[in-house]
Amino acid sequence: MSEKKKLIIPKGAGQIQQLGSGLRAKQTDTTTHFKKNCRYDYQPEICKDFYETGYCGYGENCKFIHDRSLTKSSLTLEREFEENRKHEAQKKTEELMKEQKEADEIKLQQEKEQKKETICPKCQKKYNEEKTPMIMKCGDWICSDCAIGCKKCPVCNNSTGGVFKAAKRKR
């Protein structure tokens, strides 16, 4: 047999040379006149007019592909627009909440500083000429009368070691 002729064996015959009981093998000629060739167009030239408007003036004679499969439907576009709008609104509210929280924290710190500078945490009396404010080792404020009698800070319970500084008051 030549290389051009091949035996086609029906299903169930397996690799057996002798076919036996009713099975036949047929000789066929394979052609060598053409080659199978596949071409994939990864960047197809799409008709711009047909893609954007759905109509092309050249009609069937247009050399470009009339394909609108890549376009999105109006429902899909609306859904994406709504999702983007919700996402942007959520970002804005998060930013506003973050700014508000920061402003509240700054305000609380200012109030604490102001309160720290006006009232003694132990005796709850305002500082004046007689009750001068003292700064403990830990940074908390206390009046001079209360500072002399305590060995620990009344605010944070840290040991003072008997070390105090006279506070400079803002006026």
pTM for this entry: 0.35
Q: What is residue 141's predicted lDDT score, i.e. its pLDDT?
A: 80
Per-position pLDDT tens, the chain of length 171: 455 555 555 555 444 444 555 555 555 556 666 667 776 767 778 888 888 888 899 988 998 888 877 777 778 888 999 999 999 999 999 999 999 999 999 998 888 777 666 777 778 777 776 677 788 878 788 887 787 777 788 778 888 777 777 777 554
Give the rounded distance of the alpha carbon of 49 from its chain centre: 37
Beta strands in the chain (DSSP E): 5-8, 26-29, 133-135, 141-143, 165-166
Q: What is residue 46's predicted lDDT score, i.e. its pLDDT?
A: 86
With respect to CATH, is domain 119-171 assigned 3.30.40.10?
A: yes
Q: What is residue 15's predicted lDDT score, i.e. its pLDDT?
A: 46
Residue with tokens 């944070």: 156
SS3 sequence of 55-101:
CCCCHHHCCCECCCCCCCCHHHHHHHHHHHHHHHHHHHHHHHHHHHH
